[in-house]
Chain A
Amino acid sequence: MTCAEFENALPDFLDGGGGTDLRSHAASCDACSELVSSLQAIMTGAKTLQGAEEPSPRVWNSIESALRREGLIHEPRPARSWHLPSFSRRWGAWAWAVPVLGALLLAGLWLNNPRPAGDRVAAVPAQAVPVKATAPVKAVVAVSPDDQQMMQEVAVRAPMMTAIYQTNLARVNQYIQDAQAVVDANPTDDEAQRSLMEAYEQKSLLNEIALDRSLP
């Protein structure tokens, strides 16, 4: 059995089906075995999100529009691929699952990590939004485990770029913080929600560039 045939039969295999030839291929092929492990980890992570509070339709709309902008779902067009070659090769037909899970995790984090009361901006009428003065970029340091992991990766692969990544990471974190403050002040403001999504997309972009194996 080839890897391509195995990937085609992956849905059955992950559902617990598949014959001995699938199992023996998974046992003997490191690449396919790694793919199965990664997808199982994604499925496990996705199950934990099911218990979370159901997001509003606006969140799903925002995710859909983000995916549409990413080109992962789009109106019928001539055959094309927005995925980078290394990414497509690695994930094959399951390439869609990674950004979808990323978006779900972002949505989950967003919904399940309300900001401390001290960070909130008092509710004000829509459009008249006094946002906290933007702190100097250097005051917002990368402290989350994900940020630290990203910076460690950059330090290993592109040590000369560490300071630039650090500065940009601080800037996008500040962006998210400011956008979140506006959403907190105007929870029903669609544009504020969209702005927060855009801030997260900027961070996602930075992560994508920092962790892309094909770039130094």
Chain B
Amino acid sequence: MQSSQQAAKVTLVGLVVLAAVASAETKKELRFTLGPKATVAIVNQYGGISVKPSATGNMVVVTATLASDKVDVQSSQGPNRVDLASHLLAGATDVTGRVDYEVTVPVDTSVILQSATGPLHAEKLHGDIELEGVAAPVDVRDIWDSHVHIKTMNGPVTVTNVRDGHVEIDSVSGNITLNSVSGPEVRVSSTSGQIIYDGDFGYPGEYRLTSHSGNIEATFPQTTVAEIRAQSYQGKVQDDAHLQPKKHPNFSVAEGKSFVGTTLNTINQAAASVWLRTFSGRIHLKKRQ
């Protein structure tokens, strides 16, 4: 009985705090007119940034939700570039200093987003994308013909449906998931995060997924055209995709540790080059059903 009363009190206090924070919230809308292939850069300490394509030509619209008066948004506009930054005032905390940005930009805009906590999100663009976070979850989807460059310390990264992309992802310990990502260069590097690739290694590009202790899992369909090298120094390589073993001049095969193979239909076709390497993680190759 007593504990339920205490729980009720805690809940009530929590609600009051939430209400106080919510009441202190303010929205700020900023509009900028830019030329084609412009750049929008946002530096945010605490809070998310979401960028989507605009329906209105060359207009950039930023809606910033400020958690309190302990934080302000500063902006500057240069030649075909807009810079926005959250400015923490004295006494700001991760709660009161939070700003959430909702941004719409022309589809060819390049975006540079930075936030410690995130989340960071960008979708349906074909300008270059550069996202950096500490613990920020990163979600990028429906991007084509652009550079995608993501860095986090332990924030998880999800990249979905990227075509013709130069994709570079670095995370020290965040898990990295790629769904339908293809292009001339796809490079993923992690220390302890897990790397999951689910796609067709399309485009005869170079795919390089490496980790120290994180597991690597690659799932691809029967139609994939690729030469795949996989190596784990201390872990295991498990080929459930039943690749055709292949001799390689600079790479010898060790049972369960390193492996070179091709998919069935690489003859007379330009194949993607896939390199999977980990020190102590496990590599698992799977065929999509």
By a beta-carbon cutoff of 8 Å, the part of chain A in contact with chain B is 69, 71, 77-82, 84-86, 126-129, 131, 133-134, 158, 161, 164-165, 167-168, 171-172, 174-175, 178-179, 182, 190-191, 195, 198-199, 201-202, 205-206, 208-209, 212, 214-216
Contact = CB atoms under 8 A, between A and B. Distances in A.
Nearest to B279: A178
Interface in B153-183: 153-154, 168, 170, 172-173
B170 to A, nearest CB: 5
Contacts of B45: 214-216
Contacts of B41: 84-85
Contacts of B212: 171-172, 174-175, 178-179, 199, 202
Given A201-B189, A215-B45, A215-B116, A171 B258 contact: no
A167 B153 CA distance: 11
B116 to A, nearest CB: 5
Given A80-B110, A128-B254, A171-B173, A209 B132 contact: yes
B130 interface: yes
Contacts of A216: 45-46, 88, 94, 116
Contacts of B153: 164-165, 168, 205-206, 209
A215 B213 contact: no
Contacts of A212: 114, 132
Given A129-B233, A131-B279, A215-B134, A168 B172 contact: yes
B39 interface: yes
B85 interface: yes
A89 to B, nearest CB: 9
B213 A202 contact: no
Given A71-B149, A84-B114, A205-B172, A168 B234 contact: no
B191 A82 contact: no
B121 interface: no
Most buried by A among B39, B147, B153, B277: B153
Nearest to A132: B234
Contacts of B170: 201-202, 205
Contacts of A77: 147
B99 to A, nearest CB: 13
A77 B29 CA distance: 32
Interface residues of B, number: 48
Interface of B: 37, 39, 41, 43, 45-46, 83, 85, 88, 94, 110, 112, 114-116, 128, 130, 132, 134-135, 147, 149, 151-154, 168, 170, 172-173, 187, 189-192, 210, 212-213, 233-234, 250-252, 254, 258, 277, 279-280
A186 to B, nearest CB: 11
A216 B116 CA distance: 7
Given A171-B212, A215-B43, 5 more contacts: A77-B147, A82-B149, A161-B135, A171-B173, A209-B132
B279 to A, nearest CB: 5
Contacts of A84: 41, 43, 112, 114, 132
Given A85-B83, A168-B172, A171-B191, A71 B43 contact: no
CB-CB nearest 4 A-B residue pairs:
A175-B212, A127-B252, A168-B172, A131-B233
B172 A202 contact: yes
Contacts of B258: 127
Contacts of B254: 127-128
A175 B128 contact: no
Contact of A133 (B112, B234, B251, B277): B234
A167 B173 CA distance: 10
Contacts of B110: 80
Contacts of A168: 153-154, 172-173, 191-192
A71 B149 CA distance: 9
Contacts of A82: 112, 130, 149
29 contacts: A69-B187, A80-B39, A81-B112, A82-B112, A82-B149, A84-B112, A84-B114, A85-B112, A86-B43, A129-B233, A131-B279, A158-B116, A161-B134, A165-B153, A168-B154, A168-B192, A171-B173, A174-B212, A179-B279, A191-B277, A198-B210, A199-B212, A201-B170, A202-B212, A209-B132, A212-B114, A215-B45, A215-B116, A216-B88
